[in-house]
């Protein structure tokens, strides 16, 4: 029977990484966007193991509706497009706005913590696929290069029967960043520029 796979996406992290690697400075804001289900299915289809995609969990910041109604609306349209597929869950936290905003940009706070907690606890509690008993492997794939997430990977490896894997963009110019932990050879799903363009989402969600 096929292993069951859940993809955990640190969305802003992979969006900004894609912009840096695959687009010139100043590219339109929709460059870097991806279709999360197509991305997840690509990882599953290219795996050397028999697998099926059971879920995609997306973690991201969201603008404050009172401070940035246009940004909030664009974000809601993007989330609506993602969640039109039942396999997708989106976990959001409102952006933190600095005292000098809008001269200074708002920033995400707590998104990486929410992702880390879910990735670890859902594995320990056998909740990657709803806690169903199984005689086959549950796999959590974490896509981010945020090193604050390393303890979550370690927790899954040390305290659960689930398999932890990572995914990352492959830098066409040379050295590529990925998450890793000591004394464990975590499988990495490398995604190159061709992969990116096959899962890219070019919709401008700022347009209602």
What structural domains and CATH numbers belong to the chain?
3-199 (3.40.50.1010)
The mean pLDDT of 86-97, rounded to a whole number, is: 95
Q: Beta strands of the chain (E only): which ranges?
A: 3-10, 51-62, 88-94, 138-143, 163-169, 188-191
Q: How many residues does the chain have?
A: 208
Could you tell me the pLDDT band of residue 136, with boundaries at 50, 70 and 90?
very low
Could you tell me the pLDDT band of residue 129, with boundaries at 50, 70 and 90?
low
- Contact indicator for 88, 36 with CB cutoff of 8 Å: yes
pLDDT at 138: 87
Q: Dihedral, CA atoms, 172, 173, 175, 177, nearest 10 degrees?
A: -50
Q: Which pair of structure tokens corresponds to residue 7?
A: 């993809």
The mean pLDDT of 78-86, rounded to a whole number, is: 95
Give the closest residue to 153 by CA, choosing from 108, 175, 123, 109.
Answer: 123
Question: Tokens 């209602």 map to which residue?
Answer: 208
């Amino acid at each position: 029977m096929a292993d069951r796979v859940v993809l955990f996406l640190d969305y802003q992290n992979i969006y900004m990484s894609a912009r840096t690697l695959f687009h010139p400075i100043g590219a339109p804001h929709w460059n870097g966007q991806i279709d999360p289900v197509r991305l997840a299915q690509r990882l599953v289809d290219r795996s050397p193991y028999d697998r099926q995609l059971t879920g995609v969990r997306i973690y991201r910041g969201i603008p404050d509706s009172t401070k940035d109604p246009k940004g909030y609306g664009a974000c809601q349209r993007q989330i609506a497009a993602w969640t039109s597929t039942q396999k997708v869950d989106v976990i959001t936290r409102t952006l933190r706005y600095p005292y000098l905003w809008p001269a200074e940009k708002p920033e995400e706070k707590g998104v990486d913590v929410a992702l880390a907690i879910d990735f670890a606890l859902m594995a320990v509690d056998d909740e990657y696929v709803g806690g169903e008993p199984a005689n086959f492997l549950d796999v959590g794939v974490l896509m981010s290069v945020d090193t604050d997430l390393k303890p979550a990977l370690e927790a899954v490896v040390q305290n659960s029967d689930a398999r932890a894997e990572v995914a990352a963009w492959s830098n066409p110019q040379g050295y590529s960043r990925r998450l890793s932990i000591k004394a464990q050879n975590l499988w990495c799903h490398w995604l190159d520029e061709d992969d990116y363009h096959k899962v890219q989402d070019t919709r401008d969600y700022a347009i209602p």
